[in-house]
Structure 1
Amino acid sequence: MTMPSEPLAPVDDVDAEIAFIEEAAGNEDPPTPIKGVRRLLWWIIPANMGVFIIWGAFLGILLPAQVAGLDSANKIANFAIISTVGAVFALFGQPIAGQISDRTRSRFGRRAPWIMIGSVVGALSLVGLAFADSFVGVLIAATIVQTAYNFAQGPLSAVMPDRVPIKRRGTFSALSGIGLMVGALGGQIVGSVFLGSIAAGYLFLAVFSVLMLTLFVIFNPDYSSKEVPREPFRFADFLRTFWVNPVKHPDFFWAFTGRTLLYAGYFTVTGYQFYILTDYIGIENPATVIPVLGLLTLAGILISTIVSGPLSDKVGRRKPFIFGSSVLVGVAMLAPMISPTLPAWMVMTFVAGLGFGMFQAVDTALMSQVLPSAKSFAKDLGVVNIAATLPQALAPAIAGAIVLGFGFVGLFPLGIALSVLGAFAVWPIKASR
């Protein structure tokens, strides 16, 4: 694999980058990026689309459809097993990828090599998944897909504390959230288009993802990390990858807890949309409505994201936006719980989109401000992102048990309770208002 060439940075900038990595924390401004902040702000949109289109199309539509095609009678249990195993591997993948990324020394910086490696391995795994025709084959390929793309996503998420000044992080987070949600929801639309040819859908996703992430790396070069001192590897430090002391870093703990609860509440319900539509609401052909639902969610997310991120920068506050987002997501779930109809589900997707967009626009900026050290930004963000992947790891099993025991209507009270609890978890944070 050939990495793109990188312009040589002035010596003073390289020295500043080394000093930042060695001494700074997440609440300090990094050196100005080689190509400037403005370019980075806009390129994060297609970069995030390149990752999150996978989660929207692969996890949300194509994989459950593929699993149902293998064994319709046992689709709920089989999908819970496959998605849970894959999410558990992804759970460990991001912190490990972050640790490796933090320690990487190359002329392309610490992040670019792993963004590229993760995207290429993920693409090859999607090609393998396209030709898998057994439960075991789908399980193995789907697990590699989730692990590989988390190896790309972890280093990509470290770009903000690495390169973006604090006063621009709300805007960067908003644009990042736009790319994330356009990718995830656009992925649902793409997935529904390829329901008639799942293999072709996987091939499309593989090509699109590699293209977007490659372009991001080419047009946003990072400083060389070759001269940054490398600390000796200690196995005990590796084991501590998955631990940040909540006593020493209470803000980190509360930010992690809030994100975990909100994601758990959201994905407990939306992660089962395909089956909710078919088995709870009674839609015979979900491909006819999923694009509309995706657009409704996208509209809600774009409205709240565009407003919330820059506004949080302007007022200098993050927590009120996160509180409001959690409440919106919880309230939205009342509609389908009360009325198991398509109009009620459409209301939920739009209102929950408003809430989740507000959350994505502000939470990432807040998270960047509670990171302990620039030496371990990617590792710590990998731990933070466990708060996103852990709910996805546990939600299929928990939600599957709830559906089997109480029916789909049992998902909504749990989703509401978790979302509202997520709102209250952010109030003890002191590093951000």
Structure 2
Amino acid sequence: MTEKIGFAAPTRQPKVLPSKTRRLAILLFLAYSSLITLFQGVQNILLPPVVQRLAPDAKVSTMALLATLASVTTVIALFAGGAVSDRTRSRWGRRTPSLVLSWLAGVILMPVMGIAGSVTLLAVAMPLLWFALNYYQSVLLAALPDRIPENELGFASAAVGLGAPVGIFCGVNLAAFASNVLVGYILLAIPFTILTWALVLLEPEGPSVDMSVPPRQPMSLITLLAQFSSVRDRNFALALASRFLMFLCYFSVSGYMFYIVQDYVGAAKTPFGNAATGVSILLSVMTVTWLVVTLGSGYFADRIRRTALVVALASFGAAIVTMLPAASPNWPVMLVFALGIGLTFGAYFVLDLKLAILVLPAPETAGRDLGILLAAGSAPGVISPVIAASIIEGGGYPALFFFGAAVAALAGVCAILIRIVR
């Protein structure tokens, strides 16, 4: 018996041949990889040294400010991308117009980030760039409930999940070896452009002109809150909470990885005595492990009957490995930490994406509701910089690792309470 999703699969998408589904999944993987390449290259490599140069005495608080501003626009974009594209009717489909427009906005804003010479300009450009890229993400992933049959959902989720480690690996290495910041942004924009258009042209979406459009309602606080009515569904609410807590763990620690390596471990203790290279090595170890786990998860994802349980176990595993660096600030422990995060988040990311789709309440609002779940994974970015900065100032980096472990364990508790009808 298979896990039963929140709405009947035949009303969600037409039947398609496995070969066509798998081609679409591969193109989604490539486009998603290019998106993660951008995020990781900017956040982990290109941005921290610029912030350190522009605000040397306030680098932690400045990074917190930029991350908070960007995260606010991220949450709005993830919700808006799904909601707007749900209502879009065109000869190119519901999602494609939004996908192309958000790609265009992204490639225009990247050079602006590359030439930014002040914190003020960064504080304007980065939130706008993050809005465009996360709008793109919401629209891109809406193809899963729209166009992937239930019996291929695990494979497609694994393919998209594979995009995370591949994107991290490509992003940190492309950016780390760029001759300057502007060149780094250009290098990151090239695969994003090529792979976006490969998806649009090689696997075009069907027209949506004949689909019914829900009637528009006057904007008010009541109608705005009604957009979140899906949260009343128990499984949806638990999945939302689990995802929020798990990514709160991830963002709290990874958002300060550059400074953890430089100030906690010590750049001199890393290979080549360079913090940026140390971060690149750690993220490469994490992503290679993530890659291997994702490939294995892809095989079992469509056969697992207890998706929520496995998601919970991955969360508990992440809690354990996140505590390790608190014990000793040395390079070998950080390598073990990176290996463990790759293992646990690799399994979590694939199966949590499948779980998110399984708990979607209705096909008409699949993009909106998936956007809400995606926002739950990005919303921690709004509060994690402030929380992490406060924890670092009050208890140092060990306290930050303990905090991350605690919220990951709570994420596991929420996941284990989800009950999918069989």
TM-score by length of 2: 0.92
Out of 197, 216, 223, the position equivalent to 2:206 is 223
Partner of 1:28: 9
CA distance in 2, matches of 1:286, 1:214: 35
Alignment of 1:258-407 (within 5 A): 258-284=242-268, 285-407=274-396
1:289 match: secondary structure:
helix
Which of 31, 52, 55 is the aligned partner of 1:71? 55
Alpha carbons of structure 1 residues 143 and 238: separation in structure 2 relative to 1, 3 Å: farther
Could you tell me how far 1:316 is from its partner in structure 2? 2.5
Q: How does 1:155-170 map to 2 (within 5 A)?
A: 155-170=139-154
- 1:233 aligns to what? 216
Tell whether the 8 Å contact from 1:51 to 1:209 is kept in structure 2 after alignment.
yes
Are residue 115 (structure 1) and residue 99 (structure 2) matched?
yes
* Mean CA deviation greater in 119-128 or 196-205: 196-205
Unmatched segments (≥5 aa) in structure 1:
1-23
Aligned equivalents of 2:46, 2:8: Cα separation in 1: 40
Q: Which 10-residue stretch deviates more, 24-33 or 228-237?
A: 24-33
* CA distance 1:241–1:382, shift in 2 (3 Å): farther
Give the 4+ runs in structure 1 shifted more than 6 A. none
Q: What are the superposed Cα offsets for residues 75-131 of structure 1, whole Å, 9 maximum, x if unpaired?
A: 111110011011101111111121110000011111111111111101111111111
The verdict on how the C-alpha distance between 1:245 and 1:379 changes in structure 2, with shifts beyond 3 A counting, is closer
* 2:24 is the counterpart of 1:43: no
- Structure 1 199/238 Cα, relative in aligned 2: closer, same or farther at 3 Å? farther
Contact 1:309–1:358, Cα closer than 8 Å, also in 2: no
Amino acid at match of 1:392: G
CA RMSD of aligned residues (A): 1.8
Size of the aligned set, in residue pairs, is: 408
Alpha-carbon separation, structure 2, partners of 1:355 and 1:364: 14
By how many angstroms is 1:265 displaced? Answer: 1.0
Aligned pairs for 1:127-146 within 5 A:
127-146=111-130
> How big is the shift at 1:25?
5.6
- Alpha-carbon distance in structure 1 between the residues aligned to 2:326 and 2:6: 44
The verdict on how the C-alpha distance between 1:72 and 1:85 changes in structure 2, with shifts beyond 3 A counting, is same
> Which residue number corresponds to residue 201 of structure 1?
184
The alpha-carbon distance between structure 1 residues 43 and 89, as it changes in their structure 2 partners (threshold 3 A), is: same
- Judged with a 3 Å threshold, the aligned counterparts in structure 2 of structure 1 residues 242 and 354 are, in CA distance, closer, same or farther, namely farther
- Return 199-208 or 97-106, whichever deviates more: 199-208
Distance 2:209 2:154 in 1: 31
Measured after TM superposition, the shift of residue 287 of structure 1 is 2.6
Give the 3 Å change call, closer, same or farther, for CA 125–33 of structure 1 in structure 2: farther
Match of 1:243 in 2: 228
8 A Cα contact 1:266 1:329, kept in partner: no
Unpaired runs of 5+ in structure 2?
Answer: 269-273
Q: Percent identity?
A: 28
Contact persistence 2:301–2:351 (CA under 8 A): yes
- Structure 1 match to 2:157: 173
The counterpart of 2:405, out of the listed 416, 420, 423, is 416
Distance 2:262 2:226 in 1: 41
